[in-house]
Amino acid sequence: MGNTPDRSTERIKVKAFAKINLSLDIVGKRSDGYHEVKMIMQSIALHDSLTFTLAPELSLRTSESYLPVNDQNLIIKAAKLLKQYAGIKSGADIYLQKTIPVGAGLGGGSADAAATLMALNQLWGLHLDTTDLMKLAVMIGADVPFCLTGGTMLAEGIGEKLTPLPALPKVRLLLAKPPFTVKTKEVYGKYGTLSVTAHPQIMKVVDCIKLGNFWGITNYWGNVLEEVTLQLHPTLKTHMLELTRSGLPVRMTGSGPTIFALIPEGFTELDKLKEKLSKDNWWVYESDFHQGGNQFLVEKGGEHGEKTITPHKA
């Protein structure tokens, strides 16, 4: 392809949005070891911020010293994959301001990788379409294709088969992560040793979303990985029960360990719950649903303009 960068665009800033799983089911296992899933995925307002500046070489800096800045980071993996696919020698200085907790089941690394593909596609003037970017996304990780588009989606296959669903209302969320992480590979591996009989009714959740019956989804939702992670970390179950007893619908996202609660209008116990979680050294964050895309602030010379990049414009 050999495109040269558009030098009029020298810097792009991106918000990379986290996700939650409103429901997650495992429906099979493939010969290559990957699990076949059926999930309802939803973007949330919590986000990392990334800045991409044209440079001779590819480099990554982060706000957190513990984060890798080499190929172990999905940002560098995505950038190198894009360079190889496009057949270019362009570089970029990338700065990551990390806000989404690591190893939390919130898709932070996947969101950063998706934002990298979209931003460098524009910064380097590649003009690749969504189909091209999706091919690369699925090579990076199962959640990356969703993070390219965001919004509300039914995800199938290993997460790459996406069906858009109607946007959800701006419901408030309480996110809570204990002071430890879990390894996704370990959770999926242990799942294979359990006999899980309770599965979410994913298509009934889809029906509720299509009918605009948002709170009805809590009658059918679920996450089959909860059983695994709650066995590994019983403290999660204790706090989930406390939130449930307070009247909040609660689920775990992904393989955990982050849990989230939907906050109905007029709920008055939130501050008390947040204080108790914080005293137990949990990370606590209030958010809401975010609908689609990664938000770009493009700097061209001295001009500034903000726009939302959607998949068909990528």
245-264 burial code (b ≥16 CB/10 A, e <16): eeebbbbbbbbbbbbbbbbe
Mean pLDDT of 102-118: 96
Structure confidence at residue 312 as a pLDDT band (50, 70, 90): very low
List residues with catalytic annotation: 19, 143
Place of tokens 């975010």: 290
Domain contains 305: no
Residues 228, 254: one domain? yes
> Range of 205's domain?
172-288
pTM for the model stands at 0.92
Q: Flag whether pLDDT at 222 surpasses 60.
A: yes
Confidence of residue 3 (pLDDT cuts 50, 70, 90): low
The reply to whether 30 and 142 lie within a common domain is yes
Q: Are residues 54 and 186 in the same domain?
A: no
Give the orientation angle of helix 108-123 with respect to helix 130-140, to 10 degrees: 140
Q: Do 79 and 125 fall within a single domain?
A: yes
252-299 pLDDT, tens digit per residue, is 999 999 999 999 999 999 999 999 999 999 999 999 999 877 777 776
- Tally of structural domains, the chain: 2
Q: Do 77 and 21 belong together in one domain?
A: yes
Residue 15 and residue 150 share a domain: yes
Mean pLDDT of 202-227: 97
Q: Compute the distance between CA of residue 49 and CA of residue 44 in angstroms, rounded to an integer.
A: 14
Residues 264 and 157 in one domain: no
* Measured CA angle at 271 (ends 270, 272), to 5 deg: 90
Same domain, 73 and 135: yes
Task: Tell me: do 72 and 194 sit in the same domain.
Answer: no
Output the pLDDT for position 280: 94
Same domain, 155 and 16: yes
Q: Is the pLDDT of residue 221 over 70?
A: yes
* 20 or 189, higher pLDDT: 20
How far apart are alpha carbons 75 and 111 in whole angstroms?
A: 9
* Per-residue 3-state assignment (H helix, E strand, C coil) for 52-65: EEEECCEEEEECCC
Could you give the CA distance from residue 107 to residue 94 in angstroms, rounded to a whole number? 19
User: How many Cβ atoms are within 10 Å of 87's Cβ, its own excluded?
Assistant: 10
Residue-wise pLDDT for 32-71, tens only, equals 778 899 999 999 999 999 999 999 999 999 999 999 999 9
Q: CB neighbours of 272 closer than 8 A, spacing ≥ 6? A: none
Question: Averaged over 83-97, what is the pLDDT?
Answer: 97
**284 and 182 in one domain?**
yes
